[in-house]
Structure 1
């Protein structure tokens, strides 16, 4: 089976867009140090935890807050961004 250059480019665009999608997650703030500006969020689904930095916050957060957030890849792993409290 032969692939045209157009098919290869199209497939690469589809894959790129797939991996760039932002999915919203919900979780609970496990820890947040306001003075240092970072903490961790535990995902509702599973045992996964994600680093959160103060620059990724929409609302102020504290330990045990329920939050909704998106995940982006950072230099050292995943970062929670667009973090907002939910009731």
Structure 2
């Protein structure tokens, strides 16, 4: 028996593989030749408008920014005077058996939740009261609730 002949497609594949190897070798030689300037070509700068540029920024136009003045999220609440925290209102609803109710603020007309644990004295509906507001799980909650005398 004779030697099997290579088919035409096998010859084409072999030529393609040789071509790929040659191109790979050429790219390798090119990379070695340009090795020193690689990092400088990769550096990018951001200008004052937020655009990418290849030139470094001008140091004379540099602005000094105070870190404490940067606000990332909600502004910090400044502590108010204790007199601002004490409010007056009227009990609109109070359920003695369940131990909760609502107070309507006399200034803002806002309804504030009150629980029996926040009471200093016993209250009932339509009583005028003095209270402080704290943030609870679901919103403002009245604490230190006292009858207004």
- TMscore range, shorter length: 0.7 to 0.9
Q: CA deviation at 1:2?
A: 2.2
**CA RMSD, Structure 1 to Structure 2 (Å):** 2.5
Equivalent residue number for residue 11 of structure 1: none
Max Rg structure: 2
**1:2 corresponds to 2:65:** yes
Please list every run of 5 or more consecutive structure 2 residues that lacks an aligned counterpart in the other structure.
1-63, 69-75
- Equivalent residue in structure 2 for 1:32, among 94, 102, 108: 94
- Equivalent residue in structure 2 for 1:41, among 103, 117, 126: 103
Equivalent residue number for residue 21 of structure 2: none
Give the Cα separation in 2 of the matches to 1:50 and 1:57: 13
Give the Cα separation in 2 of the matches to 1:24 and 1:35: 27
Give the TM-score of the pair, scaled to structure 2: 0.48
**1:62 corresponds to 2:124:** yes
Q: CA deviation at 1:47?
A: 2.1
Runs of 4+ in 1 over 6 A off after TM superposition: none
Paired residues in the alignment total 80
- Equivalent residue in structure 2 for 1:80, among 142, 146, 149: 142
Give the Cα separation in 1 of the matches to 2:77 and 2:127: 33
Alignment partner of 1:18: what SS? coil
C-alpha deviations, 1:26-69, integer Å up to 9, x for none? 00000100110000001111321100000000010000110000
Pick the structure with more strand per residue: 1
